[in-house]
Amino acid sequence: FVKIKELYREQEKFLGQKITVGGWVRSVRGSKAFGFIVLNDGTFFEPLQIVYHDTLDNFGEVSKLNVGAAVIITGTLVATPEAKQPFEIQADTVEIEGASAPDYPLQKKRHTFEYLRTIAHLRPRTNTFQAVFRIRSLTAYAIHKFFQERGFVYVHTPLITGSDAEGAGEMFRVTTLDMENLPRTEEGRVDFHEDFFGKETNLTVSGQLNGEAYAQAFRDIYTFGPTFRAENSNTTRHAAEFWMIEPEMAFADLEENMNVAEAMLKYVIGYVLEEALEEMNFFNTFVDKGLLDRLNHVRNSEFVRITYTEAVELLEKNNQNFEYPVSWGSDLQTEHERYLTEEIFKKPVFVTNYPKEIKSFYMKQNPDGKTVAAVDCLVPGIGEIIGGSQREDDYEKLLARMDQLGLNRADYEFYLDLRKYGSTRHSGFGLGFERCIMYLTGMSNIRDVIPFPRTVNNCEL
């Protein structure tokens, strides 16, 4: 089979030639003597038009094809200079590979994203989701390319873990226990020592702690895999299962961490703008009119870098307009993140040195005793897209902080070891992959950038 992408990219090679294409019918318009099929084969954003005549043996059946049918077409590719599309196929044969039932849900009309979510198995056949999921694939590749070109080692961190990497307690439990018949301790608590692993195990919230172990061996590493959070956040930016990219760099401080994050985001923006022209133009036309201008601007300008304290000073001036007024010590909400990026700076902003109370136990404690060397990258339209930090590399300080927060030392023995044997300053960050795809496409709901979303109250398909 020839792919539709090849036809568009190497038109001259195929014009006048007899070719065979296979794909799915987007629409059929038939009259008594001839008809048109619009076909998409999944290889290219633009469809292909086919003209057929009553000379076909199965002319009657072809004219009655339903949208969604799979067909194999052989014919000649001819140029159509007057038409919207550059060429079409004059069909010799139309073979029906798989008919489509008349109740096919994707008829040729616009469907809402809400409705399409209920048919997540069919939505990749629509223009929007063809574009989203091709961008998702290309972005994953671009991220690997970015890190591999810089010598980072790709590390596969475990999905089933015994420790809580964020210390936030938002984990899905993994158990082999018989839920109908849970073993109990004398005090009546579930006895996880009866479990397959002999201890509580969970789905990972982050590969960072394991990543740090590998950074202390390979220097620069990254992870790229699924993570899970049992937080009850029913928003357009939270999923219970999402993918995260987590680079970790030995000998890097917070400044270098930001440099890598900024270079990475610019690299992926450049990559999709160059490799997915049709898709990006589609988003710019139908989803988010300012998208291309915005991304081109971001790609060529420096991100803002301010401290949390500076950010709070800026935000306090607008407190009367916030649902949650800000003061030093408060966690930044989405409304604040968006105000900073959309109203004040109009581009991505790194906010550094947050109060230690609102950040994770592993972040490096600053000399002021109040803040830690954290960094969040906030972007217009979304808010937080990256969270990272320089890590506490001092054994005693880390241990003291863990004790203060009541973390169970035994769960973090390996992590503490890293501070015992050749500890270095080191930093890393986590990029939420879905939020990155939202940023690149202008799509406004996380449910529409992951193939089969798992969110609060939704685990269908």
| Residue closer to ligand 4AD, measured from CB, 380 or 432 | 432
Give the whole-angstrom CA distance, residue 182 versus residue 401.
34
Q: Which of 41, 220, 246, 393 binds ligand 4AD (CB under 6 A)?
A: 246
CA distance between the termini of the chain: 31
| Residue closer to ligand 4AD, measured from CB, 158 or 183 | 158
Q: Which does 269 bind (CB under 5 to 8 A by kind): Mg ion, ligand 4AD, none?
A: none
Region from 98-106, 318-326, 347-355, 430-438 binding ligand 4AD, contact rule CB under 6 A: 430-438
| Residue closer to Mg ion, measured from CB, 47 or 387 | 387
Show the tokens assigned to 170: 């938002």
**Rule CB under 5 A: is residue 387 a binding residue for Mg ion?**
yes
| Residue closer to Mg ion, measured from CB, 35 or 207 | 207
**Rule CB under 6 A: is residue 435 a binding residue for ligand 4AD?**
yes
Q: Which does 243 bind (CB under 5 to 8 A by kind): ligand 4AD, Mg ion, none?
A: none
Q: How far is the CB of 427 from ligand 4AD (least distance, A)?
A: 8
**Rule CB under 6 A: is residue 208 a binding residue for ligand 4AD?**
yes
**Rule CB under 6 A: is residue 453 a binding residue for ligand 4AD?**
no
Beta bridge partners, 25, equal 39
**Rule CB under 6 A: is residue 393 a binding residue for ligand 4AD?**
no
| Residue closer to Mg ion, measured from CB, 387 or 442 | 387
Three-state secondary structure string covering 62-115? HHCCCCCCEEEEEEEEEECCCCCCCEEEEEEEEEEEECCCCCCCCCCCCCCHHH
Are residues 313 and 336 in contact, defined by beta-carbon separation less than 8 angstroms?
A: no
User: Count of residues binding ligand 4AD (CB under 6 A)?
Assistant: 24
Q: How far is the CB of 388 from Mg ion (least distance, A)?
A: 9
Burial of 355 (0-12, 13-18, 19+ CB in 10 A): middle
For 216, residues 6+ apart whose C-beta sits below 8 A from its C-beta are 250, 418, 421, 422, 423, 424, 426
Q: Which does 228 bind (CB under 5 to 8 A by kind): Mg ion, ligand 4AD, none?
A: none
**CA quadruple 224, 229, 233, 239: dihedral sign:** positive
Give the whole-angstrom CA distance, residue 436 versus residue 449.
10
Q: Which does 440 bind (CB under 5 to 8 A by kind): Mg ion, ligand 4AD, none?
A: none
**Rule CB under 5 A: is residue 432 a binding residue for Mg ion?**
no
**Rule CB under 6 A: is residue 203 a binding residue for ligand 4AD?**
no
| Residue closer to ligand 4AD, measured from CB, 129 or 429 | 429
Question: What are residue 248's phi and psi, to 5 degrees?
Answer: -140, 130
Q: Please identify which residue in the block is written with the tokens 């987590």.
A: 246
| Residue closer to Mg ion, measured from CB, 387 or 453 | 387
| Residue closer to Mg ion, measured from CB, 383 or 387 | 387
Are residues 303 and 173 in contact, defined by beta-carbon separation less than 8 angstroms?
A: no
| Residue closer to Mg ion, measured from CB, 290 or 329 | 329
Are residues 201 and 160 in contact, defined by beta-carbon separation less than 8 angstroms?
A: yes
Q: Which does 244 bind (CB under 5 to 8 A by kind): Mg ion, ligand 4AD, none?
A: ligand 4AD
**Rule CB under 6 A: is residue 383 a binding residue for ligand 4AD?**
no
**Rule CB under 6 A: is residue 147 a binding residue for ligand 4AD?**
no
Are residues 307 and 277 in contact, defined by beta-carbon separation less than 8 angstroms?
A: no
Q: Where are the alpha helices (DSSP H) in 317-456?
A: 334-338, 395-404, 413-417, 433-441
Q: Where are the alpha helices (DSSP H) in 305-351?
A: 308-316, 334-338
Residues of this chain that bind ligand 4AD (CB under 6 A): 165-166, 206, 208, 229, 231, 238-239, 242, 244, 246, 384-389, 428-430, 432, 434-435, 446
Residues of this chain that bind Mg ion (CB under 5 A): 387
